[in-house]
Chains A and B, each alone.
Chain A
């Protein structure tokens, strides 16, 4: 049995971490879900996310978050890296913007996709 997959391995999405076309962080607040654009630095394999100091509501260390890095407009150009993890406190990444609160996203699930690589794969469900 075969199915069509958009998923790619993380190495194939590494350029998204180097270029960071757009990145946002999602977390829960009492008022509901919050999406915040973030500065992202991928340093020594660590995901360092910087929220502007004036961001409306900061997440807490230890909180579950999703970090999304994505790009593209047209269907076959759509690519993304979806990282679910927990926040750890981090000092400012070296050589990056000031005026941000920095967190490390410690991943426990990561998925990458690229619609330009649609292909048939063996269904192993």
Chain B
């Protein structure tokens, strides 16, 4: 199975939050929910270079990422992509990621309504991002898939 398989692509297209599992240099596990975009066979997940996810990828490039369509009325389907990742901090990549993320998460009817409903928090969101920028720069975790699998569907907890 690969990322071009229609069933896989359908999940990547509709899923909004990926959960990326990483290991530290000493082998300690971590898993973090992150926004992502799919681009030319690769997965780009947005974070900052000071986060555990980014630092772990720099220490050990192996990753395992879960994707699941939120609010899917159908049976639960979970996609797992394992592969190798790298941390990108180049401006061209970051601009491209930001444009795609804006289209996917903000410039949609649901996204616009969400931000309008939370206008009072936008100032704090701005400060929160600025605070993060003081600790390091925004980055992309770029995942090159090596193994793609649809996990058996079962009712979960």
Contact = CB atoms under 8 A, between A and B. Distances in A.
B45 interface: no
A52 B124 CA distance: 41
Contacts of A66: 21, 29-31
B13 interface: no
A34 B64 contact: yes
Interface residues of B, number: 45
A64 B33 contact: no
A122 interface: no
A40 interface: yes
B93 interface: no
Interface residues of A, number: 46
Interface of B: 16-17, 19-23, 27-33, 60, 62-66, 68, 70-71, 78, 80, 82, 105, 110-111, 114-115, 118, 121, 124-125, 127-128, 131, 149, 151-152, 154-157
20 contacts: A20-B157, A24-B66, A28-B28, A32-B62, A32-B63, A33-B29, A33-B62, A33-B63, A35-B31, A35-B64, A37-B66, A39-B157, A52-B154, A56-B149, A66-B31, A70-B19, A70-B33, A73-B70, A74-B111, A77-B114
